[in-house]
Chain A
């Protein structure tokens, strides 16, 4: 199938990723309490997170041309060497304004056609970096909730970020 900008997408691949979600727990919309539930810094002992066999990413030529091309290339390598991704939730307040806030995105984001589900439906570990699974029902328009962080933002700026005295819930006081 053809996208508006004429690129091709391996639909089956995305669908396979989704099938993989069968064994991953996907909760409801994030709330502070929900987040706390997901939010242990390391996996509690005795809880084995399921490992799902990986789909082939070899055919994801389309997504590989986007701003995350290097990551996708690494994905393929990673998958080939490891045999499959290990699911891990990386709970961190570092990229949230407060407990329960939607995390900001530490990598570039396509601006109009959104590829988030390709990695974040089930989660992936890629070359030592983790693409955590969504801890909530999937919404297709991800950028309505999550915005990129400083470095991968699309436009450079000469200005400095604004100073704020906001101290988010769960954050240390300045």
Chain B
């Protein structure tokens, strides 16, 4: 196979490197082993400082080169464990994201249809007035920094007594969270990226890390190149760049993952190759009762086995299209104790109307086969956004959540939150707010017809491009009286273009910040350059609105002692007016917010270290525990004795947040169910949406980076060659796609970046000039409320130019 040959050639070249160095081609350090790496700045006024990359959830660290107040260079951080000095093409160009010519630099208000400049003072006044009215919602982001998300959550829940706050991560990783909760009783992966260095088998479940998490993919490929025997298996609905490197490519029908996972479990039981000792000691079985709940109801092993009976390899083939031999191959691997198996997934399993179920099923086959807890044996979900875990899952910026994994519905949890916030009992509203799809649906519904959301303040995200079924969930609000859209962002976007009030934000190293990546790693950086014009930190915007509400007499903006909710004392003990921009950086507001937030993290064993520890580190993975010697140490593998300090002695493995309260994880029975919309005679194609390596999400930053834009300027529709023949289109022709919800024309790309099977089309969502979400379906998972962007039905017709 070609990929083999390339890997081999790369390995041979690597092997010859040492010889080349000794032959005098390279500098050799005193030890003679590694070439001396000169890291000196090229120019005396060039200063380097660390930051996590602005883009994806991998959480690479970069070093940012600043000269004369501008970012001029970026390099991979050799001290960072995540990326070990390497970056992807987005990371290498992240510094350019600050310098698009059309940065937003002043607040703007829509007057007579036009956005016109106003002062920050007026802008803050307008936001505060809207926040005093009913139906005010905050729509946040997995790209909020941790302190920003914490400030937003506190403003809403401790200040306004409202739970109408939800983040874009609802569209991104909510099903991973509900999967973790239903299986372990607590969210986020037990394993970490170290598993990638140790696994013998890596299974990609609807995942394309060569484009979406490139540096993690490199970490695995490097092992292959070095001659290690790592088997890569791709299970997906189309061939991707990642497939090209895999030993097995299993193309499945959309939704087939449910059948595949059940088929593996059934074979493990039939052959007796499941890990009986692990299951007996650490697992219990669950299924939905008459009324489905996230926790489900206990079932017996026999009931579990009976429930799996239909999933013979032949039946699995009918449902998924995956050949019985391939299913047996997967079951063979899971049945072997001598191998270590890591599963990776991201949007393929999360953007799924059965997202909670498929997440639980993949955890389930790892538990059933005992492929859990040893380094390299891990079911691991990856996140798409830089701080989806840090700011959403951990800070709890969700309609039902409180910081630290606490819940608004739980009276004890509310009490704890009110104590930390020092607000009167009853301040936290026990009723969950509207989740994302519901929030936008109600924003698009007249007040008289139950549309109880009148204002949405959008921060660090672009729902005008990312919401599913845009024609139903965003557009109608723009024609309704009384609906007011506020957007804080750094560039004009599909959302700022339809906003009533636009607030210019500082981004990335123009402000202090903290992110939390996919492997529980909390990261910190300092402000390095000034934001352009009047652009200001999102955290400042939140604090300024809180203070304005306080000054206007809003009772929620004071704590029990009558102090401002976000009071920040300076070194002299006196309050610093951080709501005034000129004083915002008199103290490190990030540190103050983080230290307060940190108190929440002990409840669910997600302990974070003091801020100062993160300044020193390239991130630390929680729980971070202070050991007897005073050193704060991170945790690589949770629930495992010797690694996780919360596991009791001699337990081996302990699921200490078990939903069954007996330290057991739940292996779920989730039957296959068909997707809500499948192709038919009228709409005969599957449509899948996704991403490309060049662009990060809606492209608002990466489409302003010339190098990335030139490589991938616009969206396209990937068409199978046979379908293209039938449709009479060739590369570059335009195809009109139509779903039951909308229409869109796109240029055709056959045998391009990916290769969909016959009957499937793929469109990336990065391009604001071709909004694919006018086509997508808003149907969502019943528990996570996450919509499915990966499968809906469309028809396609060649556009004939006249």
Contact = CB atoms under 8 A, between A and B. Distances in A.
A62 B710 contact: no
A123 B753 CA distance: 26
Contacts of B239: 4, 112
A165 to B, nearest CB: 5
Interface in B743-772: 747, 749, 751-755, 769
B769 A159 contact: yes
Nearest to A11: B5
A100 B65 CA distance: 11
B20 A147 contact: no
B12 A166 contact: no
A73 interface: no
Nearest to A15: B9
B16 A21 contact: yes
Q: Which of B2, B35, B224, B703 has the most CB of A within 10 A?
A: B2
Contacts of B694: 147
A141 B221 contact: yes
Contacts of B732: 155-156
A169 interface: yes
B75 A168 contact: no
A102 interface: yes
B711 A148 contact: yes
Interface string B1-25: 1111111111011101101110101
B73 A99 contact: yes
Contacts of A163: 100-102
A57 B375 CA distance: 44
Given A99-B42, A162-B704, A137 B96 contact: no
Contacts of A165: 99-101
Contacts of A169: 42-43, 46, 65, 67, 72-73
A27 to B, nearest CB: 6
A48 B6 CA distance: 29
Given A36-B42, A141-B217, A169-B42, A101 B92 contact: yes
A18 B46 contact: no
A19 B714 CA distance: 40
B16 A22 contact: yes
Contacts of A5: 751
Contacts of A129: none
A47 to B, nearest CB: 10
A1 B245 contact: no
Size band of the interface chain A makes with B: 35 or more
A159 B767 CA distance: 12
A170 to B, nearest CB: 7
B769 A164 contact: no
Contacts of A25: 20-21, 25-26
B31 to A, nearest CB: 15
A2 B17 CA distance: 29
A117 B93 contact: no
A149 B25 CA distance: 31
B89 A146 contact: yes
A8 B14 CA distance: 25
B760 to A, nearest CB: 16
Given A144-B89, A144-B218, A168-B72, A9 B225 contact: no
Q: Which of A145, A146, A153 has the most CB of B within 10 A?
A: A145
B13 A139 contact: no
A29 B40 CA distance: 15
Interface string A60-100: 00100000000000000000000000000000000001111
B204 interface: no
Contact of B37 (A34, A137, A154): A34
Contact of B710 (A113, A117, A149): A149
B453 interface: no
A112 B20 contact: no
Contact of B13 (A21, A33, A143): A21
Contact of A137 (B1, B17, B241): B17
A140 interface: yes
A3 B222 CA distance: 21
A29 B86 contact: yes
Contacts of A99: 42, 73
A111 interface: yes
Contact of B10 (A3, A117, A168): A117
A26 interface: yes
Contacts of A139: 10, 218, 221-222, 225
A37 B38 contact: yes
A4 B243 contact: yes
A14 B20 contact: no
B404 interface: no
Interface string B680-724: 000000000000011000000001111111111110100000000
Interface in A88-146: 97-102, 104, 111-115, 117, 121, 137-141, 143-146
Contact of B6 (A33, A37, A114): A114
B108 interface: no
Contacts of A150: 710
B26 to A, nearest CB: 5
A23 to B, nearest CB: 7
Contact of A23 (B8, B23, B245, B709): B23
A11 B9 CA distance: 9
B9 A117 contact: yes
B76 interface: yes
Contacts of A148: 710-711
Given A4-B249, A22-B20, A111 B753 contact: yes
B73 A143 contact: no
Q: Nearest 3 pairs between A and B by C-beta?
A: A25-B25, A147-B711, A157-B713
16 contacts: A11-B5, A22-B16, A28-B34, A28-B35, A31-B85, A33-B42, A36-B38, A98-B65, A115-B6, A138-B9, A138-B13, A148-B711, A156-B732, A161-B710, A163-B100, A167-B70
Given A29-B76, A141-B241, A145-B92, 18 more contacts: A3-B2, A11-B4, A11-B8, A27-B35, A32-B41, A37-B38, A97-B706, A101-B74, A102-B89, A112-B239, A112-B753, A117-B13, A138-B14, A140-B225, A144-B214, A155-B749, A156-B747, A162-B101
Interface of B: 1-10, 12-14, 16-17, 19-21, 23, 25-27, 34-35, 37-43, 46, 65, 67, 70-76, 85-89, 92-93, 95-96, 98-102, 210-211, 214-215, 217-218, 221-222, 224-225, 239-241, 243-245, 249, 693-694, 703-714, 716, 732, 747, 749, 751-755, 769
